[in-house]
Amino acid sequence: MTLAIVTHASCKLHEMGASHPEQPARLDSIDDMLARSGLAESVQRHEAPAIDREQLLAVHDPRYIELVYQASPDEGLVWLDGDTAMNPHSLDAAEHAAGAAVMGVDLVMQGKANQAFCPVRPPGHHAVGRGAMGFCLFSNVAIAAHHALDHWQLERVAIVDFDVHHGNGTEDIVSGDDRILFCSSFQHPFYPGTGADTNVSNIVNMPLPAGTDGAGFRQVMTERCLPRLREFEPQLILVSAGFDAHRDDHLAMLNLVEADYAWITRELVRLAADSAGGRIVSCLEGGYNLQALASSVEAHLGALLERD
């Protein structure tokens, strides 16, 4: 299997303060893991392009896009909400994070890679159509989904989000679009407090109580997510890969371990083989314990490469 790694150096320059959990060190921990594990020798590295305005306009309100560009500071920090700030490099990083997701789609659609993983920041799944939220500026995965539909003329794209937080931004953007099936597992009640009462045909939300372990996660995925994916027969699977549901990530209270991330990844690989020509594009979302993040990404990539 050919796995592409798509990222950009600017993603390590985006910083929101020394005490902020969404740190550049997250990407350093993944780079160190790739070198240490030997996975670096099994992947193709690609430098992400910057997203263009037209691709942003597919999912974001033009007034919000203009606000982000105007807010980009020459120095210091500018806060867009209580959790989300921009330094002088943040706009560049956000453009390349979204561009990485689009490039990942292009690589798998062109047959240049079977799958792609985009270790990028800022993450994207909390960014709603009209605003920033929860560390996120642009909705990377939603942008990738629209690119697959509009540019590559796909008819069915699935998004699977297993971050500990509900992918409210992605839901906001894709809700009601039956070309996109969105499946999200998340701790509830918990930030951002959404998703438990959604009743939309293309949305499968799976709230999990605090303390849920791998068995509970696998059960809800097996009973609710995987059957809907099989029925939907996606031509591309996009993954919002958040690893903050790990038991050692103390910003939340779920108890997943590396084997659980490997399990869900293998299940998605099987589904992709059946209906999507094996095409999967995975984008990093959360994960703030650096050791747990690195080992979880290793399990995720190993499963994409069909390594035990």
The H-or-E segment that residue 292 falls in is helix 290-304
Q: Which of 14, 46, 126, 166 is catalytic?
A: 126
Contacts of 292 (CB under 8 A, 6+ apart): 243, 246, 247, 248, 249
Task: For residues 244 and 241, give the distance between their C-alpha atoms in angstroms, rounded to a whole number.
Answer: 9
126: annotated active-site residue: yes
Contacts of 177 (CB under 8 A, 6+ apart): 202
Q: In this structure, are residues 254 and 164 in contact, taking their beta carbons and an 8 Å threshold?
A: yes
Contacts of 24 (CB under 8 A, 6+ apart): 11, 12, 13, 14, 15, 121
Contacts of 251 (CB under 8 A, 6+ apart): 21, 164, 244, 286, 288
Q: Which residues are known catalytic residues? A: 126
